[in-house]
Chain A
Amino acid sequence: MSPLGWLVALLQVVLLVALAPLFGGWIKWLKCRLQNRQPPPLHQPYRDLRRLFSKKVLWAENASVLFRITPYLVLGAIILAGAVTPFISVELPTAAVTDAIALTGFFAFARVFLALAGMDIGTAFGGMGSSREMTISAFAEPAMLMMVFTISMVASSTNLVTVISTIEAQQVLTRPSLWFAALGFLMVIVAECGRIPVDNPATHLELTMIHEAMVLEYSGRYLAMLELAAQLKLLIYAVLAINIFNPWGIAHSIAPLALLQGLGWVGIKLALFGLLLALMETSLAKMRLFKVPVFLMLAFTLALGGMLSFVILEAS
């Protein structure tokens, strides 16, 4: 692939990392306005990150090497995931490795290390957060994979670029299998990224924490990296949801005009997705922990329904 292509790919990654805090800030801004509160400015997450990066790092006496390298591993894995996600254009040098299952693998890698780090210090809250996180992901993974199977069957391939191009080419909005898969995926996003109704990202009550409990012991730049990783994870999932189920507008070349257009469309859709998330978070209450498996089983059944719809209704 041409060097320009690689440059564009690099730019995409940088853009993803740079926009992740903004996306988080946008959702928080919307939530505050919906709840009739005075919102913090949109760039507040950047200020938080800068503050954290400039602070001194402290860790417990019994922290192991794992504790110190986990933030780098987690952030690295998620940036890698971002590198293979089609963001603005489908014409990427990394297109060959844009496999949906590989993507799931990256996220799983990050999650495993985060869970281990949570248990590393030996506090009760850390262990609790890790066990909750693994339980939720044990239910969310099948749902996610069922969604991947559904879209792979529609496009006859697990390569995300192929999937997006196929769905875009068909110009069809009425495929029930995609509706079900999208709905299931939305529920999986909520669970994986720790949003209401599964986990409250703004909670300060340790007994209700899942993601926050695992990062309780971190400070300084480590905490900044983990926060950035979480925001990036949300952005990547959002980009996936948008580009798979509503791909119209994505660029098909690396010409600057096409890229700008693609960026514009993705930006608008991300803003709308953020609105959807904010509405969901404002109108729903956090579920009790033992109801989360039921929620995720519903997501699995929806994704399964999507696949069955495809087999029964669409592939004649």
Chain B
Amino acid sequence: MTLLYLTLTLPLVAILLLGLVGHRREGATLNLLFAAAGLLSSLAMALQVLREGPLSSADGQFYVDAFNVYLLVLTCFVGFTTALFSRPYMAHELEIGRLTPPRLRLYHASYQGFLFTMLLALSTNNLGILWVAMEGATLSSVLLVSLYRTPESIEAAWKYFILCGVGIAQALFGTVLLYFAASSIDLPAGDALLWNRLVAHADALEPVAMSIAFIFLLVGYGTKVGLVPLHNWLPDAHSEGPTPMSAVLSGLLLNVALYALVRLKMLTDGALAGGEQAALAGHLMMGFGLVSFLTAGLFLHRQKDIKRLFSYSSIEHMGLITFAFGLGVPLATFGALLHMMVHSLTKSAIFVTVGHASQIAGTQRLEQIRGLIHTQPAVGWGLLIGTAAIAGFPPFGVFSSEFLLLSATMQHWPWLTPLLLVGLVIAFAGLFRAIQPVAFGTPPEGQVAIPVTLWPVAIHLALVLWLGLAIPDFLAAWFDQATRLITGSGLL
């Protein structure tokens, strides 16, 4: 457990330090160092969990098993690579005057605060603390969305705050109902919100209260995942904030919210098993996921801002993953876990390149960014390969996970497969229609190359390629363990 406490305390210490010195050159370096230390400690913890099985703290408030340990490592990893990217990027922003030193301090402190709340949400066993951490994640990122203080960014931040706040309030109501449903199990009062205790006695949970609770929780946490029709804040928040924020929001926060949903789905399935509405949770998730997937794919075509384009792509992929978790069969769950990982990696890589692209062109409007390959081949190719990866081209990892999902759908819900395929094609068309001129068009006069940090992009895309070609044994075993946990039976 000490490794977990270390992973959680590092960002806390970083908040305090960076709140004081975040504006200096050393601030960004400190940010990077703390993120690296967090990554190392989370990797060590992952090894421990792989060897010894689930870890649980003495008072039961923290619980790390196969499902959330890989998400913890993923969060620390993407946090680290984005910190690597953010160091020169934010220095550049400071130079060109889009930021002031106090705001840079706020940025660094909130970055670590955001990481802390996400790590807390992932590792806590207490469903009430999960809620507190999710709300904390909203609070720590809202001031970052409006960092540039333009009217558009303030509007985006206000929308984010209010919509996510209202959504999360529904989730709190659901948590209260869950607590009430748990009162029918004979547990001491403080333990009635502990997930591992609840899942052990899930069949004793009161079914009526549990089903209503799940609906509220789905609406609440689903707002943070970006499920249609609760997604309105997502394109604005992801496009108006600084690029490292977009990368972390898209890559990490959506995953954490979906993780919360899956944990709750496990409880609901246990509570409703054997009743007439046994598959309620799964069907709801499938419905919302499918609607999000299709709607986002259609909206992709209308976008005129490059970051909004990719945030709709995030909504689409999260819809797909929600659909996969809703299916509930081991094949689909394995695919969903893989998809969560590759989507995180690819999306954050894309946002890094997009950040550089908008810096080169001086704007985020799609029609004004042209000819990146001619101006700066590294950025252009990075964007092109990243888009290909996220659209589902083989041999990238996204293709593998989508293939697994399509196989599972064909086995259990064959008439939904055409819908999925059509959605994938529509999204593919939308992305390439927009990105092709961005990469290959004629560059406007005076567009010059800028100093860039493309290490994160290279590392992420290489990882995604590796995962697409040949998933390493330990990772496959890891996913299998998680699948076994979630659905009761494994794949391998």
Q: Let me know if chains A and B touch directly in the complex, using CB atoms closer than 8 Å.
A: no
Residues on B lying within 8 angstroms of A by beta carbon are none
